[in-house]
Every structure is written in structure tokens, then in C-alpha cells.
Structure 1
Amino acid sequence: MADGDRQALQTVYEMTSAKLFGICFRILGDAEEAEDALQEVYVSLWRRAGSFDPDRASPISWLASFARNRAIDRLRSARRSRDTAPIEAAANVGDDRPSAFAVAAQTEEETRLHRCLDTLEEHSRVSIRTAFFDGLTYSQLAGRAEVPLGTMKSWIRRGLQQLRACLEA
């Protein structure tokens, strides 16, 4: 083959193509890509047949390294072209997360709300938190606290008025 004998290339191809295709396919995971890589292997082999040194490797090991390296090169090239986009495309990438300013503002509001809740009388504070966070009705709250329904409504109404005044201040 080093002397340009096409028949020698055909013989080498017939004896090694299945194994080399397997190497390419295992690395690339795509039959078409593996076939393209295999073709490049034999083209490269045709051009570099004279550089084969039987003292360094067996013929199949030498060919297998050709196939492995070519497949890895194709894989890296495909990743680079797939992963790279122009910088201008970054402007159109949406981010669903709230901005740092929005998070800070919400944290500040939550802190104010909890601070204001802490200023309420305990029965109003517990009733409001339970009503809003646990979803209990006035009747259920009154039953838990063992107070008349009207008393529970008054505690919550007065507590909400105090809460509003504190938050508006």
C-alpha cells in the first residue's frame, strides 16, 4: 500500500473495516458519522501508509488508533460547533428567575410583614397565621381556640387593621 497499490488498500479494507467501523460507531454513536470517520481513516491511511513502523505497533493496532483518533476528532468538532453560538444570541436568552432586585425587595417585604405580625397580640397573630397559612375558616379557628365565632372574627379583623397600619408606616 505504501507503494500506491490499490489492491493492497482493498485487501486491508476488507480485512479491517468491520472492526474499525465498530470503534468509530462506539465513540460517535451515530452510523452516518461513523461511516464518514471510517472513510477519513482509509484516506489518511492511503496517504500515510509509508509511515507505518512494525516495530512500534501491530498493523491492526495502528489502524485502530487511526480510527479512534479520527472518531474523537469528529466528536470534538461536532461538540464545538453545536455548543458555540454568537454572543449576540445571549441577549435573547430568557431567564425565568426573579432579578436580584426583585428577590431583595421580596425579602424586605417578608421581613417587614413578619416584624409587623410580631407586634400583634398573640391570639390575633396565631389566628391570622393559621387562617392564611393553614387555610382554616373562622369557625374552625374559633373551635380550636375555644372562643365564640364573633370573638374570633373580631380578633382577626382588629389584627388585620393593626397589620395594615404597621405595613403602611
Structure 2
Amino acid sequence: MNSPVAPFDFHRCLQACAQGDRRALQALYDHEGARLLGVARRIARDDATAEDIVHDAFIRIWTRAASFDPARGSARGWIYSITRHLALNSIRDTRRETLLDEAEIDTAPAMHGELEEIELWSGSAKIYRCLEQLQPAPQRCILHAYVDGCSHAEIADLLGAPLGTVKAWIKRGLKALRECLE
């Protein structure tokens, strides 16, 4: 009879990184690197840029592991937020450098359905279950914001909803997710 595998301990891994344990960083990369690359690809929409983002994210995780505060959220969430913020910053920097002409805007990849967005989270059954409990509008807003990297104004345009409504949906949706994940 096989014994159940213990869940990966992100917090312990970050503590070990903070103490200079390179094996902990390698374990973190082995366990979560592919999913973080998926998040970065989804936001950056470019493989090479996504790889650079994940590389930078792991450097930041390594150098700032001691600053992680479990009172402010989960260790896994902290790791994902670092990657997401780096990806969004990369997109913002790229947008400043590149001016798209009308033809490029018309041929840009369109947003895909919610099912595809939710599949990104399939590696995390708990977040998937919590996302499923949200109403469709807040769920789409959160996925567009945190998976696609859209701004609140972009989400309002995508959904044809007022900006204030989108902000409220995101705020209430995040609150519901926090409560569900506790």
C-alpha cells in the first residue's frame, strides 16, 4: 500500500532559500517552474520573453525569500505574484517602446473563452474550485486581470461593463477567493 505524498511545502522552501539553500530553489523550480512559465507566457504572449520573466522571477525569489511574510498570504501566492508583476512590467515596458499600427492591432490574438483561462489553473485544484464558485462576471474579471494581465479599463472594454462595476466585481471576487482559500 502506497503512502500518500505530502504536499509541497512552499513556505518551508522559501525559508530554506532565505538561508541560502540552493537545493530549495531548485526544488521550487522543479515543482512550479513550468506553471510559472505558463503564467508568464499567457501574459507576455512570447516564449522568449516568458522564459526571461521566469528567470528573473527566480532570481527575485532567491534574493527576497527572507522578505516573505506568511501573515500577508501564502508562499505559493507570493511566488506567483512576483512572476505576474514581472510579466506585467515587461508588457508595460514593451508597450512604451513599440508603437503598433492599425493592421497589427487588428491581427493581435483575441481573448479566448473562460474555459481555456481556467485550464491554466488546473494544477491547483483548490483555486479551481474557488474560481468555480464565483459568479461568471467576477470570475471573468479576475481571470482577465490575473491571467491575461489586463488593466481594469481593458476588462471594462472587453466585457462592455462600466469601469466602476468591473473594479467592484474584482474586489468582491478577490474577497470571496481569499475566504474560500482560507
Structure showing greater radius of gyration is 1
**TM-score between the two structures when normalised by the length of structure 2:** 0.45
Choose between structure 1 and 2: higher helix proportion: 1
**TM-score between the two structures when normalised by the length of structure 1:** 0.48
